[in-house]
Amino acid sequence: MTSESALSRQQALAILEWYRLSGVDAVLSDEAFNRFEAAPPEARSAASLAPSGQRASGAKARDSVSQRVMEPGPRVTEEDGAFGLVARATALAEAATNLDELRHHLDQFQEFSLKKTAKTMILPASVAPGGVMMIGDMPDADDDRQGHAFAGATGELVAKLVQWMGLDASALAKTTAIPWRPPGNRMPTEEEIAVCRPILLRQVALLQPRLVIACGSRPLQILVGLRDPILKERGKWFEATVKDQATSDRTVPIFAMLPPHYVLKNPIQKRLWWRDAKAFKHHVGAMDKKV
């Protein structure tokens, strides 16, 4: 016999659907707690039961681990604000000489709030110089779970696009302008975009792509400085100047396209997606003939 407080099947499904639309994609605990605190409730309760001497030694151990994790570079405090985070991100990015080092350095970027809430960090796989780099806006839930850009349904659409364009999939580096998924897929703030800017620029510098496909307004904002909606800028070519590993300036052609997740949600825009893909293929073909 069910209790009066038991939910009906329809009510339970309605609640789950509300969670899904709100961006909830994983259940981590039966009890909610503040994950920005130093330790979860069970760890805090266990620590409170330990003798004072053990608690003190445990705190010293955590401090020593924290200091090792934060190297290299100074830790950013709340007083430093966004400028401190941008400086920290710039230092970590510029210290990397390859993608593995960049990933290692960014693993230490514990001060950035987006890193605390995301499951994974999205960076491209290493490819030989002269390939194509495809940059999306920010990771979605599938990207965050699988650990790479354009996962799930968007990945299937991108795979068809790449094949139709005649691009070599093995020479395609896929990433996102924002390496960490914002909570609930919300839009990143201006401060968060500013922090992620040197990280994306360093990725382009390290990969040295022949050209870049910007799928969304965020990569255009970071690389070119444009703030117009992607529907206005799609189908156009731009140029970005980045510093390569020798710190010399290098110009990279950029082609703007609609984000695949937007095309999936708005099927009527597929005509623009394939129209731009055709224009890209024609332009690249003309470039190859000149070479």
What CATH number is associated with residue 233?
3.40.470.10
Q: Quick check: is 16 in a domain?
A: no
pLDDT digits (tens, 9 = 90+) for 225-249: 998 999 999 999 999 988 765 557 8
For range 88-95, the mean pLDDT: 94
- 52 is a domain residue: no
Retrieve residue 93's tokens. Answer: 């990015």
Q: For residue 60, is it within any domain?
A: no
In this prediction, residue 254 carries a pLDDT of 97
Structural domain boundaries, residue 114 = 74-290
| Other Cβ atoms within 10 Å of 175 Cβ, number | 26
What does the pLDDT look like over 36-56, one tens digit per residue?
Answer: 554 444 444 444 444 444 444
For residues 260 and 107, give the distance between their C-alpha atoms in angstroms, rounded to a whole number. 28
How many structural domains compose the chain? 1
Question: By percentage, how much of the chain surpasses pLDDT 90?
Answer: 57
Q: Which residues of 235-285 form beta strands (DSSP E)?
A: 237-243, 249-257
Radius of gyration of the chain (CA): 22
**Is residue 69 domain-resident?**
no
| 3-state SS assignment for residue 175 | strand
3-class secondary structure, 172:
strand
CB 227 within 8 A of CB 221: yes
17 within a domain of the structure (yes/no): no
In a domain, 116, yes or no: yes
Question: Does the structure show a pLDDT above 50 at 91?
Answer: yes
Q: Is the pTM for the entire model greater than 0.75?
A: no
Q: Is residue 128 part of a domain?
A: yes
CB count in 10 Å sphere of residue 218: 23
Residue carrying the six token digits 């790449």: 162
Residue 170 lies in a domain: yes
What is the widest separation between alpha-carbon atoms in the chain? Answer: 79
Q: Cα-Cα-Cα-Cα dihedral of 276, 277, 282, 285, to 10°?
A: 140
Q: What is the pLDDT of residue 128?
A: 79
Average per-residue pLDDT for the chain: 80
